Structure 1
Amino acid sequence: MFFGNFTPKLDDKGRLILPAKFRDDFSEGVVMVKGQERCVNLLTMAEFEAVASRLREASMTNKSTRDYVRVLFAAAYDQVPDKQGRVSVPAHLREYASLDRDVVVNGAMDRVEIWAPDAWSSYSAEQEQKFAELSDEVFPGI
């Protein structure tokens, strides 16, 4: 499970040093995909395979399913972190998420997200009140 908030920097080659607490989980490989809110999601290979398995069960005659699969898999990028725990964020994903040198890295349960700092700040500020109000919907009876 991934959790926590970190503010590393991308180097001049677009590489990210994974936060130390995430490195073991990604030691055998990481898959980067587009996130819905213009961030980059990092999934373990096992989690990506689980997502692919669920998508295989979806109806490919449904246009929304086909569209989602195309966008997700066309932009996906896999690699194994180097010995320093670095991964290269490809240019097309850096552009998609407006990533520059400064980034925000968040653990998000089954994935890690990479955000542009301004995008994360705006998103999290907007979600604070909704977060408090959603507890009854997400955890009924608690």
Structure 2
Amino acid sequence: MFLGTHTPRLDDKGRLALPAKFRSELDSGLVITKGQERCLFVFGIGEFGRLTDLLRTAPMTDRRARDYSRVFFASASNEVPDAQGRITIPQALRTYAGLTKDCVVIGANTRVEIWDAVAWQSYLDSTEQAFAEAEEEVLPGLF
């Protein structure tokens, strides 16, 4: 499980240091791909395989499933962190997410998300009230 918020910087070669607490689960390899809201999703190999299996069962006759699979897999990149725990983010993915220098890396349960720092703050500003109000709808009876 990935938790927390971290603020690494992207270097001039497009490398980003993964938070130390995430490295043990990702050091054998990972997959980076486009996520929603113009962030990047980072999956450990096992979790990416689980998602692949789920998408494989989606009906080929469902256009939304085909569209999602095309974008999800076509933008995916296999990476292995270097000895310093850095990954290279391909230029196309950096462009998609608007990544320049200041980034935010968040733990999102079974995945890691990489955001441009300004985009992340804007996202939080626009969703925190909805988060507070959605508790009963999203997690009924839990609280």
Asked if Structure 1 and Structure 2 have the same fold, meaning a TM-score greater than 0.5 normalized by the shorter chain, the answer is yes
Q: Partners in 2 of 1:5 and 1:79 — Cα distance?
A: 21
Q: Secondary structure at the match of 1:113?
A: strand
Q: 1:125 Cα shift? A: 0.8
Q: 1:69 Cα shift? A: 0.6
Q: 1:122 Cα shift? A: 0.6
The count of aligned residue pairs is 142
TM norm structure 2: 0.97
The one-letter code sitting in structure 2 at the alignment partner of 1:83 is A
Residue-by-residue CA offset, 1:17-60 (whole Å, 9 max, x unaligned): 10000000101101001011100110001111110000011101
Specify every segment of 5 or more residues in structure 1 that has no aligned partner in the other structure, as ranges.
none
Q: For residue 53 of structure 1, what is the aligned residue in structure 2?
A: 53
Q: For residue 85 of structure 1, what is the aligned residue in structure 2?
A: 85
Matches within 5 A, 1:23-62: 23-62=23-62
Specify every segment of 5 or more residues in structure 2 that has no aligned partner in the other structure, as ranges.
none
Q: For residue 131 of structure 1, what is the aligned residue in structure 2?
A: 131
Q: 1:79 Cα shift? A: 1.3
Q: 1:99 Cα shift? A: 0.2
Paired-residue identity, %: 54
TM norm structure 1: 0.98
Residue-by-residue CA offset, 1:85-117 (whole Å, 9 max, x unaligned): 010000000000000011011111111111011
* Pairwise CA RMSD: 0.7
Q: Secondary structure at the match of 2:38?
A: coil
